[in-house]
Amino acid sequence: MSDSHPGVRRRDAKRFPTGAARVTLDRVAGDAGAAYWYLLVVLSAGSLALAVLVPSSLVRVLLIAPILTSIGEADVSIVFSLGAIFAIAEGLQRTAFTDLAANSLLSYLPADPSLPLVLVFVAGVSMALAFVMEGLAVASVVTPVFVSFATAAGVPLLPVAMIESVALNAYFFPYQSAVLVAILGLDVVDSVELTRMASVCTVATLLVLLPIQIGVFALAF
């Protein structure tokens, strides 16, 4: 029966290969499938990389580059000044200077002083030191001292720190503040006019704002 249709058999052999031919076709199909999956993974990873890197590049060009340019043109000396404040404070604490200075300041006050009296004393000491040192230098020296002083006097630290910050921002002369000195360096205002305006603001602070703040702290604490 198979011999009676040789043409059909030859056509079947070509359509349905067996033996070595089938093994070759299976290998080619397997390689094609592996190549397809490999190509799919590569394209997916490439698409993901483009989706992540391209926006990042755009953000870097549009946003980060101007920021870096501005930072390069900025005067960062204030950063070193602030860093020096923490270094000085740490040095004063490690040498026990803060405790000695706090006890010395406490000797000028009566026993068991009230909070308003302590706050007035803190403001007076801060402003007095600001006449002989720049404001940041005063802050670096007296802040750790006032921390120990508040503990020794038995008063809360928050009102002391707040009053100190107010007093150290009350200037009469430009040399007391690096900010005022920088303003003079820009030549946008006369030194006499700047001194007058700083003095007016300081007087208003001492006569109006500081008493209100001390009264609020006396009620709250």
Q: Got the DSSP string for 144-176?
A: HHHHHHHHHHT--HHHHHHHHHHHTT--SSGGG
Q: Which helix (H) or strand (E) holds 66?
A: helix 65-73
Q: What is the model's pLDDT at position 67?
A: 59
158's CB contacts (< 8 A; 6+ apart) are 221
pLDDT digits 0-9 by tens, 119-146: 999 999 999 888 888 787 788 788 888 8
**pLDDT cut 70: percent of the chain above it:** 62
Region 209-214: what's the mean pLDDT?
92
Other Cβ atoms within 10 Å of 125 Cβ, number? 19
Would you say 144 and 89 are in contact if contact means Cβ atoms under 8 Å apart?
yes
Q: What is the model's pLDDT at position 24?
A: 46
| pLDDT band per the 50, 70, 90 thresholds, residue 28 | very low
Q: Which long-range contacts (CB under 8 A, 24 or more apart) does 101-108 make?
A: 101/145, 101/148, 101/149, 102/145, 102/146, 102/148, 102/149, 102/151, 102/152, 103/152, 105/145, 105/149, 106/149, 106/152, 106/153
Region 35-48: what's the mean pLDDT?
59
Region 158-166: what's the mean pLDDT?
92
Would you say 164 and 145 are in contact if contact means Cβ atoms under 8 Å apart?
no
Region 141-162: what's the mean pLDDT?
88
Q: What is the model's pLDDT at position 64?
A: 56
Q: What is the pTM of this model?
A: 0.60
- How far is it, in rounded angstroms, from Cα 125 to Cα 119? 10
Region 104-117: what's the mean pLDDT?
85
Residue in this structure with the two tokens 């001492």, named with its chain if needed: 206
Q: What is the model's pLDDT at position 117?
A: 92
Q: Is the pLDDT of residue 150 over 80?
A: yes
Tell me the average pLDDT of the chain.
74
| pLDDT band per the 50, 70, 90 thresholds, residue 7 | very low
Q: Which among 123, 167, 124, 122 is positioned nearest to 148, based on CA atoms?
A: 122
Q: What one-character DSSP code corresponds to residue 189? A: S
Q: Is the pLDDT of residue 89 over 80?
A: no
- How far is it, in rounded angstroms, from Cα 155 to Cα 150? 5
